């Protein structure tokens, strides 16, 4: 069903894959060149890794382009995709055990993002019999997910050795400036952010439709 809906967007999907591929290549070049390793100023250069895609995502979500996409992609599919965050959190935990990232960036510390990934399949199953009240709860779930995502982004930034550093336990969060770790903020965090915004927009539209038809 999902593939059938997406097949109508073969040209945009190719453009999307090209853009993502170029972005990954740019992130690789920037990280391997060492340009992202300067944490002496605030905000650090690493912030651009998230600022650029975040800006593009917000633009896409508020534009009419996202309307065409959301009209063809099932709401449960967008929610299920958030399950990838479980893998990310387990990987961060492994990195902490290997003394690569500080504890506060894991679920043993101040990172509660795994709750979103674990609940995503349950929310998508619950969604299969939608009602206006359930739409509201899914909307709330997305907002909470955004808050938890914002929380770990702030924790990650405050764990960097910048003038604004708050967490001074070792190791400092400098690994995100290297490849392939740079893909964590540059791709995975922004993917979670995009899925939440798209789902929120989809919920609001469906709630309006339900209210109009009632």
Q: Give the sign of the dihedral formed by CA 23, CA 87, CA 109, CA 121.
A: positive
Question: According to the model, what pLDDT value does residue 1 have?
Answer: 40
What's the whole-model pTM score? 0.88
Question: According to the model, what pLDDT value does residue 143 have?
Answer: 96
- pLDDT digits 0-9 by tens, 146-174: 999 999 999 999 999 999 999 999 999 99
Question: According to the model, what pLDDT value does residue 11 have?
Answer: 42
Residue appearing with tokens 């894991």? 106
Question: According to the model, what pLDDT value does residue 144 have?
Answer: 97
Helices (H), the chain: 2-7, 10-33, 47-62, 64-70, 75-80, 84-97, 114-127, 132-158, 183, 189-213
Question: According to the model, what pLDDT value does residue 187 have?
Answer: 94
Count of structural domains, the chain: 1
List of the chain residues with pLDDT < 70: 1-13, 128-130, 210-214
Question: According to the model, what pLDDT value does residue 8 have?
Answer: 46
Cβ atoms of 107 and 114 closer than 8 Å: yes
Domain coverage including residue 49? 2-213
């Amino acid at each position: 069903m999902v593939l059938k809906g997406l097949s109508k967007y073969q040209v945009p999907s190719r453009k999307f894959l090209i853009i993502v591929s170029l972005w990954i290549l740019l992130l690789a070049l920037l990280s391997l060149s060492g340009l992202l390793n300067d944490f002496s100023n605030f905000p650090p250069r690493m912030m651009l890794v998230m600022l650029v895609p975040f800006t593009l995502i917000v633009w896409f979500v508020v534009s009419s382009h996202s309307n065409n996409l959301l009209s063809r992609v099932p709401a449960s599919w967008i929610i299920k995709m958030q399950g990838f965050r479980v893998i990310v959190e387990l990987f961060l935990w492994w990195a902490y055990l290997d003394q690569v990232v500080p504890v506060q960036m894991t679920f043993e510390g101040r990172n509660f993002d795994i709750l979103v990934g674990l609940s995503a399949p349950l929310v998508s199953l619950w969604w299969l019999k939608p009602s206006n009240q359930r739409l509201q709860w899914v909307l709330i779930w997305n907002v909470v997910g955004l808050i938890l995502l914002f929380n770990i982004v702030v924790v990650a930034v405050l764990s960097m050795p910048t003038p604004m550093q708050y967490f001074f336990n070792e190791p400092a969060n400098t690994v995100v400036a290297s490849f392939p770790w740079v893909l964590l903020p540059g791709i995975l965090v922004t993917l979670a952010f995009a899925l939440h915004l798209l789902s929120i927009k989809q919920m609001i539209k469906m709630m309006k439709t339900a209210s109009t038809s009632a």
